[in-house]
């Protein structure tokens, strides 16, 4: 009796195909795992923004583009307890910290809050309680530099002076 080679060949082909597919699946899985580890380590997945606190912003900062413009983020809270107080002045326009302090919680003052990397500022005016909120994304904050991005995509950089 003569054996038919087709069933043997078919079985061998099925096993080879299974092996190739298994190997390809293993490569795909390994690639996916490596990509996940890389993106996780680099913080490139949405929702992995840095979690900044009020303590990170506490202090006096000066604008990179205008070193005579100062921003003070203090840790003293307003009456509601929801916001912190801050103040700003520009010595290039002959406005000094003493001018802002004389107009306590008026022109030159702002309330601010931070949640993760979202910074909100409410600038105070003598003619009204506050202006519309300005929102920024804190993209970087170290002991010496602060970098914000506004809602229009403009990057603002500050240096800590004290």
145 in Cβ contact with 158 (< 8 Å): yes
Strand partners for 141? 146
pLDDT band per the 50, 70, 90 thresholds, residue 44: very low
Cβ atoms of 102 and 109 closer than 8 Å? no
Compare 103 and 120 and report the one with higher pLDDT. 120
pLDDT at position 154 over 70: yes
**CATH among 2.40.128, 3.40.50, 2.60.40, 1.10.1740 for 54-160:** 2.40.128
Average pLDDT over the chain, rounded to an integer:
80
Give the pLDDT mean for 42-53: 65
pTM of the full structure: 0.67
Spans of all domains in the chain: 1-44, 54-160
Q: Measured between alpha carbons, how far is residue 148 from residues 14, 67, 86, 112, 114 in Å? A: 59, 16, 16, 14, 12
Over residues 61-89, the mean pLDDT reads 93
């Amino acid at each position: 009796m003569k054996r038919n080679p087709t069933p043997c060949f078919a079985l061998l082909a099925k096993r080879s195909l299974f092996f190739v597919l298994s190997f390809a699946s293993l490569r795909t899985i390994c690639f996916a795992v490596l990509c996940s580890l890389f993106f996780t380590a680099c913080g490139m997945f949405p929702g992995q923004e840095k979690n900044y606190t009020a303590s990170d912003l506490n202090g006096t900062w000066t604008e990179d583009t205008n070193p005579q413009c100062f921003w003070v983020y203090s840790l003293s809270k307003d009456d509601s307890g929801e916001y912190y107080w801050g103040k700003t002045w520009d010595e290039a326009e002959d406005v000094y910290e003493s001018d802002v302090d004389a107009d306590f919680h008026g022109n030159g003052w702002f309330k601010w809050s931070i949640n993760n990397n979202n910074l909100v500022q409410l600038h105070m005016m003598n003619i009204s309680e506050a202006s519309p909120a300005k929102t920024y994304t804190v993209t970087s904050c170290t002991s010496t530099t602060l970098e914000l991005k506004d809602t229009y995509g403009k990057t603002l950089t500050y240096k800590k002076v004290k």
